[in-house]
Amino acid sequence: MAQLYFRYGAMNASKSIQLLTVAHNYEQSGKKVIVFTPAIDDRFGVGKVASRVGISREAIPISYDTDIYHIVEQEHPFPDCVLVDEGQFLHAHHVSQLTSIIDRLNIPVIVYGLLKDFKNQLFEGSQALLCEADKIEEIKTVCVFCNKKATHILKFKDGAPVYTGESIEIGGEETYSSVCRKHYYNPPLKKS
């Protein structure tokens, strides 16, 4: 029976590389996958899933008006699995479309993404995924300042922590760091 999996973690927890590995494993077994990624994440190009270790692949970009269910429904034969990167950037209606893929087409969907933004608030996509997922799995990484589990995302501007502003500002390690709760609330004065 198909299910919706939400695999979340802080930045640098290996979410994208895990998605790419799952896609590779399906395809090596002669199975078909469809990979999606939100168009807003254009760090490596629109419609590209890329890992910081240098591996990437093309994906179908998701914009606000994208009907994910319709795209998958038009595929013949149906894919054996649907994979979505950066699930935090989905909108609630996209998550509803993913549940329709599972419930109507009986295709498993695995979504990878962040849970919270740098203000320690759930992203819209993450909140919808938490409500609808059949299985929720944490992918762990460690704080950049200590060896505790990273549970928060800290944003930096000019080397100093920032706690206000737009929730979505695409950036990488130069802007955001994965930190534990202690270092989120009491970070070192400047990021080196």
- Just list the catalytic residues: 86
First vs last C-alpha separation in the chain: 48
**Dist. CA 127–CA 148, nearest whole Å:** 25
**Which of 62, 35, 33 minimizes the C-alpha distance to 46?**
62
Max Cα separation, the chain?
Answer: 55
Give the CA-trace dihedral at 16, 19, 20, 24, to 10 degrees. 170
**Which of 48, 59, 35, 27 minimizes the C-alpha distance to 109?**
35
Residues 6+ apart with CB under 8 A from 104: 69
Burial of residue 135 (CB within 10 Å: 0-12, 13-18, 19+) is exposed
Residues 6+ apart with CB under 8 A from 174: none
Q: Which two tokens stand for residue 163?
A: 């706690």
